[in-house]
């Protein structure tokens, strides 16, 4: 029995080493250390065909070095966060020289791919900024969702609220009056122009908006009693890259509210409206929350009243104890 178990363990170790022990697969793992990526992203970065990249990724997934999540016609990959695969990945990244020319070129191409994604999203925002609230109203009944947002945000008032990806500033209108200061952050000038107008009309003198990337918020570390990310994470290749800096902004006892779509199959949102994710699942949210040192404390769902509509989900996240 012991010998059989030892043989099984040895075979698993050999399988792990075989999967990782190839140059292209090592490059894939190194890229995934920067966050989740799709097959399409890999083909653009590596300059290899989709079938070839998919074969490499399948070997890595079979060896449990990476995990795969399907979203409609696309698939996203991330490094395994547990087990022997996680241990081997950790060792590899301690051993591999990140400054090697090939890995540095891959990172440069990754940065260019992500910049192209941001440009695509910003171009969409600029195009539909004036109709943003109208578009949002088609997804789910705003009144019920907003009542739940108010409830999940808590009854107490606080010093600072951050609204990341504020868009037209609706969350600032809804919640900003509860706080001494409220700041909306967005990378779209067109959206912020509308948000500023709405804030002025509402007479919210304690509210301001700023043009910047929502991941560049280190100056608010441990200062926000409430952070809101409303209908934003589906524009990210790797939502954890937005959740981690958001979590770092939470003051002791602070709350992070995420509002987004449940998983769906509406591919047109990706091709026509720059969505990178076709919704977010509870399982994904739990993984991303853990990576940010948070825990999902409450979830609420609001299905659309329209046939084939989208379900809106609300997640309340707090620091893990």
pLDDT tens-digit series, residues 190-242? 888 888 988 988 989 899 999 999 999 999 999 999 999 999 999 998 999 99
Run of H or E including 198: helix 189-202
Residues 6+ apart with CB under 8 A from 6: none
pLDDT of residue 151: 95
pLDDT of residue 15: 66
pLDDT in tens, 150-188: 999 987 778 999 999 999 899 999 999 999 999 999 998
Instruction: Please choose, from the candidates 203, 148, 145, 146, the residue with its C-alpha nearest in 3D space to the C-alpha of residue 177.
Output: 203
Residue 170 and residue 248 in one domain: yes
Residue 209 and residue 283 in one domain: yes
**Within a domain: residue 121?**
no
pLDDT of residue 2: 47
Final residue before a domain boundary, out of 96, 117, 142: 96
Residue 79 and residue 215 in one domain: no
Q: Is 279 left (phi over 0), alpha (psi -120 to 50) or beta?
A: left
Angle at 44 between CA 112 and CA 188, to 5 degrees: 35
**Within a domain: residue 126?**
no
**Within a domain: residue 111?**
no
Residue 138 and residue 213 in one domain: yes
Residue 11 and residue 157 in one domain: no
**Within a domain: residue 199?**
yes
Task: Give whole-number Cα distances, 296 to 58, 91, 149, in Å.
Answer: 30, 30, 15
With b for 16 or more beta-carbon neighbours within 10 A and e for fewer, the 198-211 pattern comes to: bbeeeebeebbbee
pLDDT of residue 227: 98
Any idea what the CATH number is for the domain that residue 138 is in? 3.40.50.150
Residue 143 and residue 276 in one domain: yes
**Within a domain: residue 177?**
yes
Residues 6+ apart with CB under 8 A from 15: 62, 63
- Count CB-CB contacts under 10 A for residue 157: 12
Q: What's the farthest any 2 CA atoms get from each other in the chain?
A: 76
Residue 211 and residue 65 in one domain: no
Final residue before a domain boundary, out of 96, 122, 140: 96
Cα 1 to chain centroid distance, Å, stands at 45
What is the C-alpha to C-alpha distance for residues 43 and 51, in angstroms, rounded to an integer?
Answer: 9
Cα-Cα-Cα-Cα torsion 92, 93, 94, 99, nearest 10 degrees, comes to: 120
Instruction: Please choose, from the candidates 281, 252, 241, the residue with its C-alpha nearest in 3D space to the C-alpha of residue 117.
Output: 241
Residue 33 and residue 147 in one domain: no
Residue 176 and residue 277 in one domain: yes
pLDDT of residue 92: 87
Q: Which long-range contacts (CB under 8 A, 24 or more apart) does 119-128 make?
A: 120/274, 121/235, 121/274, 122/187, 122/188, 123/274, 124/273, 124/274, 125/167, 125/188, 125/190, 125/191, 126/188, 126/189, 126/190, 128/273
Residue 140 and residue 267 in one domain: yes
**Within a domain: residue 117?**
no
pLDDT of residue 3: 54
DSSP 219-243: GGTT-EEEEEEES-GGG-SSTHHHH
Any idea what the CATH number is for the domain that residue 12 is in? 1.10.10.10
Cα 109 to chain centroid distance, Å, stands at 20
The 3-state DSSP class for residue 282 equals helix
pLDDT of residue 147: 94
**Within a domain: residue 106?**
no
Residue 147 and residue 293 in one domain: yes
Final residue before a domain boundary, out of 96, 111, 143: 96
**Within a domain: residue 109?**
no
The range of the structural domain enclosing residue 59 comes to 2-96
Per residue of the chain (321 residues), give pLDDT as tens: 545 555 556 566 766 777 677 899 999 999 999 888 899 999 999 999 999 999 999 999 998 999 998 777 788 898 988 888 888 888 888 888 888 999 999 999 999 998 888 787 778 777 777 666 655 555 667 888 999 999 999 877 789 999 999 998 999 999 999 999 999 999 988 888 888 988 988 989 899 999 999 999 999 999 999 999 999 999 998 999 999 999 999 999 999 999 999 999 888 888 888 899 999 999 999 999 999 999 999 999 998 877 778 899 999 999 987
pLDDT of residue 9: 62
Structure letter (DSSP) for residue 262: P
Structure letter (DSSP) for residue 318: E
**Packing angle, helices 101-128 and 39-46, rounded to 10:** 130
The domain total for the chain is 2
Residue 218 and residue 305 in one domain: yes
């Amino acid at each position: 029995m012991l010998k059989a178990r030892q043989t099984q363990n040895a075979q698993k170790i050999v399988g792990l080493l075989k999967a990782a022990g190839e140059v292209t697969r090592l490059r894939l793992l190194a890229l995934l250390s920067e966050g989740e990526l799709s097959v399409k992203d890999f083909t653009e970065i590596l300059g290899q065909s989709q079938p070839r990249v998919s074969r490499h990724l399948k070997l890595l997934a079979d060896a449990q070095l990476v995990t795969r999540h399907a979203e409609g016609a696309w698939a996203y990959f991330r490094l395994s966060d547990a087990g022997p695969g996680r241990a081997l990945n950790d060792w590899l990244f301690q051993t591999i020289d990140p400054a090697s020319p090939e890995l540095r070129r891959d990172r440069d191409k990754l940065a260019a791919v992500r910049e192209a994604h941001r440009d695509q999203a910003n171009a969409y925002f600029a195009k539909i900024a004036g109709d943003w609230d109208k578009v949002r109203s088609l997804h789910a009944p705003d009144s019920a969702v907003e009542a739940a947002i108010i409830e999940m945000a808590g009854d107490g008032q606080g010093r600072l609220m951050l609204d990341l990806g504020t868009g037209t500033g609706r969350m600032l209108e809804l919640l900003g009056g509860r706080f001494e200061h409220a700041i909306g952050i967005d990378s779209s000038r067109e959206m912020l122009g509308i948000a500023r107008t709405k804030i002025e009309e509402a007479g919210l003198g304690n509210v301001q908006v700023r043009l910047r990337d929502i991941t560049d918020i280190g100056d608010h570390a441990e200062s926000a009693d409430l952070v809101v990310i409303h209908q934003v994470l589906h524009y990210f290749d790797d939502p954890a890259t937005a959740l981690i800096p958001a979590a770092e902004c939470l003051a002791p006892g602070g709350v992070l509210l995420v509002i987004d779509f449940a998983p769906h199959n509406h591919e047109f949102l990706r091709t026509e409206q720059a969505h990178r994710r076709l919704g977010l699942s509870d399982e994904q949210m739990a993984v991303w929350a853990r990576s940010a040192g948070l825990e999902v404390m409450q979830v609420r769902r609001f299905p659309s009243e329209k046939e084939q509509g989208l379900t809106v989900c609300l997640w309340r996240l707090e620091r893990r104890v």
